[in-house]
Structure 1
């Protein structure tokens, strides 16, 4: 029996079960009009959206926090907490004026000092942030409503940096929290965003709850992505964590929840028959599937072996599995940058999948890498509908290619902890894991965490390349589009030679919600603002 058919049968069987699992007073009809109930893709493991790049942490961050700048649908930075910004003639002093009346959830006013401390903490964690932080000389916060950023050198893309929409945005928090150790996640959630985090209701693996912040002052204008008027129409937002995807979809169909963040492809046929549920693409730019190598230990500290893996796997195998075989929901992209981003070329057409289906050439190529039979530990997030199939495909393809593969399933939270280990495979380490990245989050050399060469400071996997970092720095300093295009091409070519990570193609995840929910916005995560009952 196919995996898809089995899941459909499980989903059908789960229909009467969902009500028994979710029935509780909080879902009573008298609260339905004022409460938005969402099933997130995974449980919220880390509350700190600056510390964690996980999609669910970023989504949580946009409920609780706000940013000085956001982006519109064309990815242009727009003032958010800021009224606007000005820059000195020499490009070395930026002045950002805060909107009047901004408050934190504890009632304290948002000050320039809070913004400076928040940007300083963010700049120690984020890839774009580190480039920004290296250019900062000091902050002037003598006027509570004006943040002055003094730079060592011009940094033309400053607003792009502090307004980036994903992984991890430059969220503003109180100075007392932002001054905490940057290598430790914060656990007290005090922001200035449209919703307050209800810490006393947190029930790990079951419920995450938020209450509308009545002190929030949305901007005027229509909302687009992370900018514009963030009007919170619901008094309360509840995330209902449901590990079994079929049960979550059943709850949606019965109206026990309003929204399923990420609809598994094999359950889409069930939902499509329900006239009370709407299915649509959540992000028009799509999401890239990514295989991440561990560069710190054998066997993938060997670039020849990484190039071998690129040559033996085929993107279509992963894409078809994640999307249930619906070719209209995916796009092959033989490139190290997302093909949905304007200007990106498929430079890897001669590199991806060239050995697939040819066992004799495969065996010869593997021998040439110097691979000595070391164990390849693939850690796999079995509780994620989008990620779980990736580990299965990789394990099968690499075994067929002659590698000694050990596939280890675990939940996403455990994987996030395990991937921090640099131990050898036989001592609790790992060789490969898979993740997903919204295309907008890896759109250019400075943003693309999957190819940045930051080593110890970078994304777990710890690819280190002084050459990649040099190209990134030059890209940031470039004064015209032609120079940036040339440098993007050079960084792209370097990534194809060294394979820091392996892109597995782009898919367009579906989100599903009840038809009486209006104002749902597209973006790299599901935003709580603008959504309202019909």
Structure 2
């Protein structure tokens, strides 16, 4: 358990953040400097570089610099033109016409056309989208009257669609390199060819991923950087040291131990900021394997919920970078969030009573049952979350064996083989819960080996009917009511236990300008970023 001194350091870090957060205009003054190599951190190392087939954060961070989307999102999360210069929606909401940017080429020189969008919809977004394929299955067809126009025909109006059309949520793949192949095993998933501001050059496993400036980028004069090197640095202390020395300029997704962030934020050469995650709305949760021997019983799941002190978890493990979660729809999605869901306050006595009621009495050594907990292998904060859960459950007689592994093994075990009792992970909710929340509870995802989907194995006809209804419901009030019904159901059955609404941070070199210019920056390109001249040493 973390010491009081460590907690005090975390509180001090929160006090520092307003002074050090990078507002979009913090370094906007002055002419951008062209050239230079941005040294960045990617941790853990991605399994793939193509978000179209894998919704993992490291994949999105790197791939966001290689691929453009039809749209991008500004700091208010409003869609802005990217590959689509403009668009119109018919009065009945069932036809959307996109006018594509002319003169755009793939990194191999082939022209980007409406055929690429049409093919990606039919062969990637609909059958393979790892977040919400139903969102795209609602698009019955994509017509291509000419190379620069694509017309989506929808079965029903879709309120959520325009929240998932960036280069991460609806990644467009080059038809000429994927057509006739197995999309999931195509070698270009590891050697991507996009239309974005940076071109993939090499991936040296265990070392780095190199991207170079696209000299033919459609946005003339950009990007400003010559190259980005995403370095794989598994050790948190080494990442902190690289940032402190100035060897690393950019490190997203809470890249260093929180105790180191407090120290680095005091340095004049380092900045800490929390912007660029608005599109994501991340939350941390536990998945119960509802098919496992003990967690089939909802009373045992509720007992675990009462055994964990979320406020202590946030303070002692996450240094205050979060808020206690009471629902699978975070409070950041204010219109949808329901305050009246069943709640499970920290109450060890209640937990013990539920375990007794479920027939899990303490044995001679005080143990009621023994389980495994597979924690997300994304660094020290997730390992320490696992340790916190282990200590919390031990107090009520549940012995926990922590199991660490690499990302590929973790996703296969949890979402494919389903060989676990309890797992911990985080996911993005995105601007509409249809995009990020439904996949965690939908029967359609259970046991399908789709990472960051329904890991618990929860199957509910009532939940599925709600998801189906919100897909085509145009009335915002009715959609909100439906999502509130779902939240009550989810928190009653409790296949997944919300723990923390996360507040991720980035660590930057003070030389890096315009690192955050959009609301989906975490998965967006560093098109506007540039490096100031290093200070001369006497």
TM-score by length of 1: 0.82
Is 1:433 the equivalent of 2:428?
no
5+ residue gaps in structure 2?
8-33, 362-367, 533-538
**Distance in 1 (alpha carbons) for counterparts of 2:464 and 2:178:** 27
Query: What residue is the counterpart of 1:22 in the other structure?
Result: none
Structure 1 distance, partners of 2:166, 2:101, is 19
Seen in structure 2, the aligned counterparts of structure 1 residues 353 and 533 have a Cα distance that, compared at 3 Å, is: same
Offset at 1:161? 5.2
* Cα pair 1:114 1:175 within 8 Å, conserved: yes
Asked if structure 2 preserves the Cα contact closer than 8 Å seen for 1:340 and 1:439, the reply is no
Aligned ranges 1:445-456 → 2 under 5 Å: 445-448=434-437, 449-454=439-444, 455-456=446-447
The CA deviation string for residues 337-375 of structure 1, in whole angstroms up to 9 with x for no partner, is 11122224453675223423x2xx332211323559664
Question: 1:132 is matched with which residue?
Answer: 135
Match of 1:44 among 43, 46, 60: 46
Partner of 1:533: 531
Aligned counterpart, 1:81: 83
Q: Structure 1: give runs of 5+ residues left out of the alignment.
A: 8-31, 220-229, 424-428
The residue aligned with 2:162 is: 160
**Aligned length in residues:** 485
Cross-structure match for 1:393: 388
Partner of residue 190, structure 2: 187
CA contact (8 A) 1:318 1:389 kept: no
> Which residue number in structure 1 is paired with residue 10 of structure 2?
none
Report the 3-state secondary structure (helix = DSSP H, G, I; strand = E; otherwise coil) of the residue aligned with 2:306.
helix
How far is 1:101 from its partner? 0.8
Q: Alpha-carbon deviation of 1:508?
A: 1.8
Structure 1 residue 104 corresponds to structure 2 residue 99: no
* Other-structure match for 2:218: 217
Q: Secondary structure at the match of 2:515?
A: coil
Contact 1:294 / 1:461 at 8 angstroms: preserved in 2? yes
2:335 to 315, 318, 343: 343
1:164 Cα deviation from its structure 2 partner: 5.5
Classify the secondary structure of the residue corresponding to 2:111. Answer: coil
Does structure 2 conserve the Cα–Cα contact (< 8 Å) formed by 1:445 and 1:491?
A: no
2:334 is the counterpart of 1:334: no
DSSP 3-state at the match of 1:36: strand
RMSD: 3.0
Is the partner of 2:456 in helix, strand or coil?
Answer: coil
Equivalent position SS for 1:474: helix
> TM-score, length-normalised on structure 2?
0.82
Contact 1:446–1:472, Cα closer than 8 Å, also in 2: no
Separation in 2, partners of 1:164, 1:348 = 33
- Which of 515, 522, 533 is the aligned partner of 2:510? 515
**Contact preservation (8 Å) 1:118, 1:172:** yes
Distance 2:262 2:131 in 1: 40
Cα deviation digits, residues 353-408 of structure 1 (max 9, x gap):
3423x2xx332211323559664211124551332222111122222222242211
- State whether residues 288 and 421 of structure 2, in contact with CA within 8 Å, keep that contact through their aligned partners in structure 1: yes
| 1-structure distance, mates of 2:77, 2:495 | 26
Contact 2:41 2:250 in 1 (8 A): yes
Q: Name the stretch that deviates more: 307-316 or 126-135.
A: 126-135
Residue 288 of structure 1 contacts residue 506 of structure 1 at CA under 8 Å; is this kept in 2? yes
Structure with larger RCO (C-alpha < 8 A, sep 6+) = 2
Q: Evaluate the alpha carbon distance shift between residue 490 and residue 203 of structure 1 in structure 2; reply closer, same or farther with a 3 A threshold.
A: same
- For residues 230-285 of structure 1, what are the alpha-carbon distances to aligned partners after superposition, in whole Å with 9 as ceiling and x for unaligned? 94211100011111111111111111111222242110232133211111214464
For the 8 Å contact 1:85–1:97, the answer to whether it is kept is yes
Would the aligned equivalents of 1:58 and 1:169 in 2 still touch at CA under 8 Å? no
Partner of 1:406: 401
Cα distance in 2 for partners of 1:87, 1:523 equals 23
Q: Report the CA distance between 1:178 and its aligned residue.
A: 4.5
CA distance in 1, matches of 2:329, 2:35: 42
